[in-house]
Amino acid sequence: MDLIKSQLERRLGHDFKDKGLMELALTHRSCGNRNNERLEFLGDSLVNLIIAEALFLRFPEAKEGQLSRLRASLVKGETLAKVAREFAIGDCLNLGSGELKSGGFRRESILADAVEALIGAIYLDSDMDNCKTHVLRWYHARINETSLEKSGKDPKTQLQELLQSRKHALPVYSMSDVKGEAHAQVFTVECAHKLLAKPTVGEGSSRRQAEQQAASEALALLGELK
């Protein structure tokens, strides 16, 4: 296994006994029939279970609908792609030539699928307890930041309500870049406000997703201000 993937193991916190499992988890279907789709299927079930249990224990008074919305926000593709970017998983992906040319290593859906596949691979390489420990560590800050009041609101709405509650003007969103082919574009959006030292930046496969990510980054900064 090359150096960059060994470094990924350290970032993930798991040293694979079966290096082939990790390699498979990082292999997109554009490479052929031997790809990460089956591991993705397994990882999807695992991350839903692990996050569901964590939220169940964190919010003992929450209703089913509230827990479902919180879980959905934590396991959706956008959040999984953020986890992938934090670990620089895109740099380690095995992609076919077409996906390489179109920037597949940046595509949200491919990054999200790779995270789920890695979760499935870690489970098969070790056991449920170990897999759960890793996933909860990766999600620790996000789970701690969740609240029942925000369970049905997206980042743009939360940011708007935060600013309005403090009697400030609303943020301004502007698209700063669009990359990739028409079928696989990556949008970059900036969120500007006078309370921010500089605009926050979001990326996504649509302008809406990019705006939501930029708003989420702004929330993290403005939420610390009094």
- Binned at pLDDT 50, 70 and 90, residue 226 comes out as very low
Cα 34 from Cα 28, distance rounded (Å): 9
CATH, domain range 3-150: 1.10.1520.10
Q: What is the reported pLDDT for 155?
A: 87
Residue 193 has pLDDT above 90, yes or no: yes
Q: Which residues are annotated as a binding site for Mg(2+)?
A: 40, 113, 116
Other beta carbons within 10 Å of 76 = 11
Active site residues: 44, 116
CATH, domain range 155-222: 3.30.160.20
The overall average pLDDT reported for the chain is 91
Q: Mutual orientation of helices 128-145 and 64-75 as an angle, nearest 10°?
A: 100
Q: What is the reported pLDDT for 191?
A: 97
* Contact partners, residue 97, CB within 8 Å, separation at least 6: 30
| Maximum average pLDDT range among 85-89, 144-148, 165-169, 176-180 | 85-89
Cα 75 from Cα 192, distance rounded (Å): 27
Domain boundaries, the chain: 3-150, 155-222
Residue 1 has pLDDT above 60, yes or no: no
For the segment 109-168, what is each residue's pLDDT rounded down to a tens digit? 999 999 999 999 999 999 999 999 999 999 999 999 888 876 667 889 889 888 988 889
Q: What is the reported pLDDT for 51?
A: 97
Q: What is the reported pLDDT for 95?
A: 93
Cα 155 from Cα 213, distance rounded (Å): 8
| Maximum average pLDDT range among 19-28, 58-67, 138-147 | 19-28
Q: What is the reported pLDDT for 118?
A: 98
Residue 197 has pLDDT above 90, yes or no: yes
Q: Which residues are annotated as a binding site?
A: 40, 113, 116
